[in-house]
Structure 1
Amino acid sequence: MPIFPASATLAWKAGALLTSSGIMAGAFGAHALAPRLGDKAATWGMASQYAILNGIGLLAISQHPVYSKRLATPLIIAGTTLFSGSIFALLLYREKMGALTKIVGPSTPVGGVLMIAGYLSLLF
């Protein structure tokens, strides 16, 4: 029995949510936020791409009856949320975050490690 059971339905719904929100965030960054982001627009785009790619990965994982019940789904969801979410938050609210920047900033690489761990867990 997996430590964090995740159903194929969770993987499918999270994949759909991450993919669609990544597309929306990318469009929002490219159009509405472009003047505000300036040279950071590429960073915003990268965070959007990671959300999209991980969403597609979860959609694929949901189709496999064994993998969707392992650690991959919760690790990828948490990792993508921390990784992309922290980048979005830092770019949008950096000047308003103050001391929270010291918490939100380090969550980006933690999210990356969780995403990697999620995909590596598919090996076992």
Structure 2
Amino acid sequence: MFWTLGSIYGASAVAFGAFGAHGLKKKIADPSKIAAWNTAAHYQLVHSGMILLTAAAAPKNKIAAGCFAAGITMFSGSIYLLTLDPQRFKALGPVTPIGGLFLIAGWTALAVGSRGKFLPKAS
């Protein structure tokens, strides 16, 4: 499940990034909103890769993968919606940092769950 989700999030991150680079500028003139959109796409792409890595290298670590997925949805998703229609979605403002906390939790869960399995053993 997480492999599929990470792949879908990765593909959509590229699509959202392309839209931000080409289509969004026709609708939004504020450079800070364009920058926010690009940040959301960047974080989505990086953490999509982390979902894939977690699914492949630590498949039992469902907490890490789940935190990455929740973080992408909340962090990037709220930024996309706030950029497109800030008045309509202003209630989502607090969701962005909560999503960031989930991304941090995913990294932490990966570190704690892996217990250094990828470090070479000392001879």
Superposed, 1:26-105 pairs within 5 Å as 26-38=17-29, 39=31, 40-64=33-57, 67-70=58-61, 71-95=63-87, 97=88, 100-102=89-91, 104-105=92-93
Is residue 123 of structure 1 aligned with residue 123 of structure 2? no
Instruction: Report the aligned-residue RMSD.
Output: 1.2
How far 1:69 moved relative to its partner?
2.5
How far 1:81 moved relative to its partner?
0.4
How far 1:119 moved relative to its partner?
1.1
Higher radius of gyration, 1 or 2: 2
Equivalent position amino acid for 2:82 in 1: L
2: CA distance between counterparts of 1:55 and 1:69?
Answer: 17
2: CA distance between counterparts of 1:49 and 1:87?
Answer: 12
Equivalent position amino acid for 2:53 in 1: A
1:14 paired residue among 5, 13, 27: 5
Q: Percent identity?
A: 35
Equivalent position amino acid for 1:121 in 2: A
Query: Residue by residue, what CA displacement relative to the aligned partner does 1:15-45 show, whole Å, maximum 9, x if unpaired?
Result: 1011110000010111111132221111111
Q: 3-state SS of the aligned residue for 2:56?
A: coil
Equivalent position amino acid for 1:56 in 2: G
Equivalent position amino acid for 1:49 in 2: H
Q: Which runs of 5+ in 1 are unaligned?
A: 1-9
Considering Cα pairs closer than 8 Å and 6+ residues apart, tell me whether 1 or 2 has the greater RCO.
1
Equivalenced residues, count:
109
Runs of 4+ more than 4 Å apart: none
2: CA distance between counterparts of 1:54 and 1:123?
Answer: 15
Equivalent position amino acid for 1:111 in 2: G
Normalised to the residue count of structure 1, the TM-score between the two structures is: 0.82
Report what 2:97 is aligned to: 109
More helix, by proportion = 1
